Amino acid sequence: MHLSTSTVLAVAVTAATTATAQVTGAKGNAPVTTGNSDTILYETSFSSSNVESGYLNFTGTSDGVGVLVTACFKGINASQPGPYPYHIHDFVVGPNENCTATGGHLDPYMRMDLPACDSAAPETCQVGDLSGKHGKVPVGVDDYCTSYVDNYLSLDPSNVGFIGNSRSIVIHNVNLTRIGCGNIVQGSTGGMYPTNTTTPGGNNVTTYPTPTVAPPIASGGATSLRASMALGVILAVGSLVL
């Protein structure tokens, strides 16, 4: 039987959204990471025509096991079909916010995308498959945030599960069309202001873009998410000082 490319794609997408499986990568399952200091911060922020704002932060944990992820997505275009998967991708965003330039998912153990992973066995998932392990962004939630510890991400540049150094975040619609993306950059201040991750470069950038810290209360086109996060910092700083 002859199958057109679009039929094969449709079948693949259907498989990706329905069947899950515990697949061991060619290089094994992902080991639990250690030594992730809670003083290290990486961040991603972006805005695209389809996503008003995406903001994720990544820090170590008190015992150094795994990475604490907070992921927020606001104002996703309701005409884009969901739920919305999001992943860590291999390369930085290309010129003109080109999400295609980010390549594929961070997958150091060569597990590959399909079949979709079983969140009950997260060590068998691609390291970068955040929504496969922790859930997709649901439809119809304008301002969605979630927080979790992912035991397989690393903040150590010598670990293959390292999330910095040219990695990026991409959010997709249910058909895996890329609807928004931003680079993962090292936070300099330990604060939570979104950084400007627009990069003039291309693939394989091995140095971090210098994060540009946004003003505490941005004016004009600033998103309410940014404003509310700024308020959060003021409150947090206030509670530390007082």
Ligand X SMILES: *[C@@H]1O[C@H](CO)[C@@H](O)[C@H](O)[C@H]1NC(C)=O
Closest CA to 221 of 77, 53, 76: 53
Please report whether residue 101 would count as binding ligand X according to CB under 6 A: yes
- The minimum distance between CB 217 and ligand X, in angstroms, equals 14
* Site residues (CB under 6 A) for ligand X, limited to 151-180: 174-175
- The minimum distance between CB 71 and ligand X, in angstroms, equals 8
| Residue 136 near residue 83 (C-beta atoms within 8 A) | yes
Q: Which of 41, 92, 184, 230 binds ligand X (CB under 6 A)?
A: 41
Q: Which of 35, 232, 234, 235 binds ligand X (CB under 6 A)?
A: 232
d(CA 194, CA 197): 9
How, if at all, do strands 51-59 and 41-46 pair? antiparallel
| Residue 41 near residue 187 (C-beta atoms within 8 A) | yes
Closest CA to 176 of 107, 99, 75, 123: 99
How many residues bind ligand X, per CB under 6 A? 27
Judged by CB under 6 A, the stretch of 31-39, 97-105, 133-141, 156-164 that binds ligand X is 97-105
Q: In 33-165, at which residue ranges do the beta strands (DSSP E only) sit?
A: 41-46, 51-59, 67-76, 86-89, 116-117, 143-150
Judged by CB under 6 A, the stretch of 20-28, 116-124, 164-172, 196-204 that binds ligand X is 196-204
Q: Which of 25, 94, 180, 182 binds ligand X (CB under 6 A)?
A: 94
State how far Cα 215 lies from the chain centre: 23
Judged by CB under 6 A, the stretch of 18-26, 92-100, 107-115, 136-144 that binds ligand X is 92-100
Q: Which is nearer to ligand X, 81 or 157 (CB)?
A: 81
Dihedral angle, C-alpha 174, 17, 120, 85, nearest 10 °: -10
Q: Which residue's CB comes closest to ligand X?
A: 192
d(CA 44, CA 187): 9
Q: Which is nearer to ligand X, 22 or 188 (CB)?
A: 188
Judged by CB under 6 A, the stretch of 32-40, 121-129, 163-171, 194-202 that binds ligand X is 194-202
Please report whether residue 139 would count as binding ligand X according to CB under 6 A: no
Ramachandran region, residue 151 (left: φ > 0; alpha: ψ -120 to 50; beta: rest):
alpha
Residue found by looking up tokens 């959204």 in the block: 17
- The minimum distance between CB 234 and ligand X, in angstroms, equals 12
Please report whether residue 126 would count as binding ligand X according to CB under 6 A: no
The total number of residues shown for the chain amounts to 242
Interacting residues with ligand X (CB under 6 A) = 41, 49-50, 57, 59, 70, 72, 77, 79-81, 94, 98, 100-101, 145, 174-175, 192, 196, 198, 202-204, 212, 229, 232
